[in-house]
Structure 1
Amino acid sequence: MESGTFRAQSSPHITQQGLGLIEVLITLFILSIGLLGVASLQLVGSFTNSAALNRSDATMQVQQLSERLQASALQSLSAPGRIVDNQYFAADNWNFAGLACDESNPWQCHCTARPVAIPDCDANQCSTAEMARYDGWQVSCAAVKSNPSAQLAVTCADINALDGQSCSAGSTLQIILRWPTTSWQGANRIDNPDCAIDGSEHADCVVVRLIL
């Protein structure tokens, strides 16, 4: 019996290498793109959340003012329908016009205590003109408490200029609460011209129109 010859087969030489510099750079590049995307989403989200909060608060304040106007409305003596005092349309009764302020925050300046120029309609009986002044101060305070840059305006498309009323019975009354916004990504988010503040288009607003 012939003895066989056994030869061990040698395995091929395998060289294992680690990641090279190019692979590391590619990985870092892909990771940086992902992180930039996350940062962009956070930036957009912060703008969106801020805008939504301002709009929600503004809607509540405008609704509150419309309810005050309806509560103070009286029956017109010259035409069918109801009217409010002319002082509700006086610009001096809104946004703390005529009240001095030494602080940048209007809430701290005008709203922590009732200014002397504002009638105390909680403790005393007020005329309709005084009530308009008091409502203008209270609603202005509510508006700037959450957004110090907010501005209120109450106007009317008067249908009868001869009856002595700033907003005759049957006229359309308009409440606007505006606030400046920041344009981001080179886009102007505002399409409503009613929102413009001092000629600037970068503003948002809530508009309510009603007939008393």
Structure 2
Amino acid sequence: MNNQSPQLLRKRQQGIGMIEVLVTLFILSVGLLGVAYLQLVGSFTNSEALSRSQSVLVAQQITERLRANAVFSPIGDGLVVHNDYFTPGIYNFTGLSCTSGLPHTCYCLSLPATIPDCNTNTCSAAEIAAFDGYEASCAAVAANPKIKIQVSCADNNLADIHACSVGSKLDVTLTWPVQKWQDIQRTLNPNCNVGKSSPHDCVSVELTL
């Protein structure tokens, strides 16, 4: 049987002091800062991964459109596509004006008047090229509004009428700017940074029809 008085028991009881509270808050703050840092790094990583994945899909989509619209050359034994596919003006909404908002919401929610509607109408080869360039541009900026498309050709016969002659190598490249994280030097692909003043990453697909 405990015969100690209530007053003596109260004297022996010890509560949590200010130092213990401060130490606990410090440890909790360090842990929360670590979680916030991981979330910030993860957001950068996820953004770049999304840009790369979307660019790969768009590049594959463009190559499929090129194959689908290729025709036999009248002056050679092989397939060619319309010269307008290699005109920069059909990609990246060149010549269109946007008053506000991101490119996808500005240009892609409805078909601009200057773009032919080849889904419901019969289009010429040049109109199909313009329509394909517009749709590819919309698909690209859906993930990253700064992605740019370039379709080029290493033409093996400059004397004929084709911008990309039979047997020439086509190149579909999508580029986008990247950010340097905490002054860490990242290895850049020189092919992605030709004529660029800031670091860029890219996806490139080569094709021969």
Tell me the TM-score normalized by structure 2: 0.83
Q: Is the 8 A contact 2:83 2:164 kept in 1?
A: yes
Structure 1: distance between partners of 2:151 and 2:164: 11
Q: CA RMSD in A?
A: 2.4
Q: Is the 8 A contact 1:158 1:168 kept in 2?
A: yes
Q: SS state of the match for residue 146, structure 1?
A: coil
Letter matched to residue 101 of structure 1? C
Structure 1: distance between partners of 2:175 and 2:58: 11
Q: Is the 8 A contact 1:152 1:175 kept in 2?
A: yes
Question: Residues 48 and 56 (structure 1 numbering): CA distance in 2 closer, same or farther, change over 3 Å?
Answer: same
Structure 2 match to 1:81: 78
Residue 161, structure 1, aligned to residue 158, structure 2: yes
Q: SS state of the match for residue 42, structure 2?
A: helix
Structure 2 match to 1:108: 105
Structure 1 match to 2:207: 210
User: Per chain length, whose mean CA-contact separation is higher, i.e. which structure has more relative contact order (CA < 8 Å, sep 6+)?
Assistant: 2
Structure 1: distance between partners of 2:125 and 2:54: 27
Q: SS state of the match for residue 186, structure 1?
A: coil
Identical residues among aligned pairs (%): 52
Structure 2: distance between partners of 1:60 and 1:38: 32
Deviates more, 1:181-190 or 1:142-151: 181-190
Deviates more, 1:185-194 or 1:82-91: 185-194
Report how far residue 136 of structure 1 moved: 0.5
Q: SS state of the match for residue 38, structure 1?
A: helix
Structure 2: distance between partners of 1:193 and 1:147: 21
Question: Residues 106 and 200 (structure 1 numbering): CA distance in 2 closer, same or farther, change over 3 Å?
Answer: same
Residue 129, structure 1, aligned to residue 126, structure 2: yes
Letter matched to residue 127 of structure 1? S
Q: SS state of the match for residue 191, structure 1?
A: coil
Question: Residues 201 and 187 (structure 1 numbering): CA distance in 2 closer, same or farther, change over 3 Å?
Answer: farther
Structure 1: distance between partners of 2:104 and 2:52: 19
Report how far residue 151 of structure 1 moved: 0.9
Work out which of the two has the higher radius of gyration on C-alpha atoms and give 1 or 2: 1
Question: Residues 200 and 104 (structure 1 numbering): CA distance in 2 closer, same or farther, change over 3 Å?
Answer: farther
Q: Unaligned 5+ residue runs, structure 1?
A: 1-14
Q: SS state of the match for residue 66, structure 1?
A: helix
Residue 152, structure 1, aligned to residue 184, structure 2: no
Structure 1 match to 2:96: 99
Report how far residue 20 of structure 1 moved: 7.9
Report how far residue 32 of structure 1 moved: 4.5
Q: 1:9-88 residue pairs with structure 2 within 5 A?
A: 31-88=28-85
Report how far residue 80 of structure 1 moved: 2.7
Report how far residue 181 of structure 1 moved: 2.1
Q: SS state of the match for residue 183, structure 1?
A: coil
Structure 2 match to 1:142: 139
Structure 1: distance between partners of 2:112 and 2:169: 32
Q: SS state of the match for residue 178, structure 1?
A: strand
Structure 2: distance between partners of 1:70 and 1:188: 39
Alignment size in residue pairs: 198
Structure 2 match to 1:4: none
Structure 2 match to 1:171: 168
Structure 2 match to 1:3: none
Report how far residue 16 of structure 1 moved: 9.9
